Amino acid sequence: MKLNLNIQPLESWLNIKNEPLIISGPCSAETEEQLLSTAHLLAATGKVSVLRAGIWKPRTRPGEFEGIGSIGLEWLKRAKEETGLPTAVEVATAKHVEEALAAGVDILWIGARSTANPFTVQEIADALKGVDIPVLVKNPVNPDISLWIGALERINNAGITKLGAIHRGFSSYEKSSFRNEPMWELAIQLKTLCPQLPIINDPSHICGNRELIPYIAQKALDMDMQGLMIESHIDPSVAWTDAKQQLTPAALEELVSKLSLREPDSANEAFVDKLAELRKGIDKIDDVLMQKLGERMAIIEKIGQYKRDNKVTILQVNRWDEILKKGSAFARALKLDLGFTEKFLELVHGESIRRQTEIMNEGKETADVTEAEATPVNIIETDAK
């Protein structure tokens, strides 16, 4: 099912010509000198399309620097006048929206914490009614695509048609090299549901450190994302917030210069014909895979019936361990990614458990209802007292 969003194309927003779209600037506006100096250096690169800066910073715990506040909007306004760069800030309340609009901010974005709260998003949406301004919506902190979609819909319903999403990764209990797990599949799902929706990647918040940013930035462009939001500070070593993930303007220029831009399609007929031929091969294999999965599930259902008739539990840990070890060994021999193989086997196993559970409980619900209907009314009344 496609999302029914009324969206204008990205190139019509601010007449931005840079490709990809690069939004950059400090995580936080700290001082007027810091912001203006960073802005001038970023403008001089010729790579940056929009200047960003955190004005209000919702922190996880109180006592940390929570943004310079409204005075930073005046600094941002001056930076725009001196460099010609459009500006962008995060808003989390209706008051933020009003102040940002009054200061002439060009683009607003909604942060991950705000996206997770429909009340907050609706408050922002109400404040935006009747306003013509680009709005970007970051994914929620947790991997919940419905919350992301809901936030986009609320803003769109307020009349905002210059609408985009920011993919900044998701919180996860699993330890990894990233601050926030990319979970690319969720961004892909959103793009599939709404192909016309511009998606900007935020490698700074995904990585949490500057060393990994080039890798994520390139992968985002390879995934056909329309731009990047990368934090930049004149001297990241003394930044008041998120020092490890900010780049100097010079480092940002070098990174952007090394990025490879690839087209989503090609007009080369030979390429198109060869790609179509290869895809036909994939389609045939996919058909066989689906057929074999269907055959596997048919056997699973027979096993479920056999277990039910012989009063044997559904889950048998030894058998699952055997499948996992055998599958992992086979995957290594076929040079398949071990993580992918384990996830695939877990999905298949989970569906097998679900089907056997249904078989085990066939007729049980009816029996429970019959028993409840046969319960004397006076007993229910007595228990209720």
Q: Of 317 and 95, which is predicted with more confidence?
A: 95
Q: Of 246 and 304, which is predicted with more confidence?
A: 246
Same domain, 316 and 179: no
Same domain, 292 and 198: no
Helices (H) and strands (E) in the chain, counts: 15, 8
Question: Does residue 384 belong to any structural domain of this protein?
Answer: no
Q: Of 60 and 92, which is predicted with more confidence?
A: 92
Q: What is the pLDDT of residue 60?
A: 75
CATH number reported for the structural domain that contains residue 239 in this entry: 3.20.20.70
Question: What single-letter amino acid sits at 53?
Answer: A
Same domain, 88 and 62: yes
Average pLDDT over residues 113-135: 97
Beta-bridge mates of residue 150: none
Q: Look at residues 56, 171, 182 and name the one whose alpha carbon lies nearest to residue 110.
A: 56
| For the ranges 14-18, 23-27, 260-264, the one whose mean pLDDT is highest | 23-27
CA dist 222 and 263 (Å) reads: 9
Same domain, 228 and 301: no
- End residue of a domain, out of 227, 258, 289: 258
- Checking if the pLDDT of 220 tops 90, the result is yes
- Checking if the pLDDT of 368 tops 70, the result is no
Question: Does residue 39 belong to any structural domain of this protein?
Answer: yes
Q: What is the pLDDT of residue 63?
A: 77
Average pLDDT over residues 75-82: 98
CA dist 239 and 232 (Å) reads: 10
Distances (CA, A) of 219 to 116, 201, 250, 329: 26, 10, 21, 29
CATH number reported for the structural domain that contains residue 321 in this entry: 1.20.59.10
Question: Does residue 377 belong to any structural domain of this protein?
Answer: no
- Checking if the pLDDT of 105 tops 90, the result is yes
Average pLDDT over residues 192-210: 96
Mean pLDDT, rounded, of the chain: 89
Structure tokens given for 333: 């021999």
Please tell me whether the overall predicted TM-score, pTM, comes out greater than 0.75 for this model.
yes
Q: Are 155 and 128 in contact (CB under 8 A)?
A: yes
Same domain, 218 and 322: no
Same domain, 181 and 242: yes
Question: Does residue 93 belong to any structural domain of this protein?
Answer: yes
Same domain, 222 and 299: no
Question: Does residue 221 belong to any structural domain of this protein?
Answer: yes
What percent of the chain clears pLDDT 90, i.e. is strictly above it?
A: 62
Give the pLDDT band of residue 17 (cuts 50, 70, 90).
Answer: low
- Checking if the pLDDT of 375 tops 60, the result is no
Question: Does residue 381 belong to any structural domain of this protein?
Answer: no
Lowest mean pLDDT among 93-107, 235-249, 346-360: 346-360
- Checking if the pLDDT of 376 tops 60, the result is no
- Checking if the pLDDT of 345 tops 60, the result is yes
Q: What is the pLDDT of residue 266?
A: 65
Lowest mean pLDDT among 166-170, 214-218, 242-246, 360-364: 360-364
Same domain, 107 and 19: yes
- Checking if the pLDDT of 371 tops 50, the result is no
Phi, psi of 10 (to 5 degrees): -55, -40
Number of domains in the chain: 2
Average pLDDT over residues 35-61: 93
Lowest mean pLDDT among 132-136, 169-173, 196-200: 169-173
- End residue of a domain, out of 258, 277, 294: 258
User: Quick count: other Cβ atoms within 10 Å of Cβ 385?
Assistant: 4
- Checking if the pLDDT of 383 tops 70, the result is no
* Domain range for 24: 10-258
Question: Does residue 143 belong to any structural domain of this protein?
Answer: yes
Same domain, 277 and 250: no
Same domain, 250 and 343: no
Average pLDDT over residues 12-17: 76
- End residue of a domain, out of 224, 258, 292: 258
Q: What is the pLDDT of residue 378?
A: 40
Using CA of residue 95, residue 230, residue 181, residue 57, what is the dihedral sign? negative
Same domain, 148 and 20: yes
Question: Does residue 59 belong to any structural domain of this protein?
Answer: yes
Distance of CA 158 to the CA centre of its chain: 22
Lowest mean pLDDT among 81-90, 224-233, 260-269: 260-269
Beta-bridge mates of residue 108: 89, 135
The pLDDT tens digits of the residues spanning 255-290 come to: 999 998 877 666 677 887 788 888 888 988 988 889
Same domain, 249 and 297: no
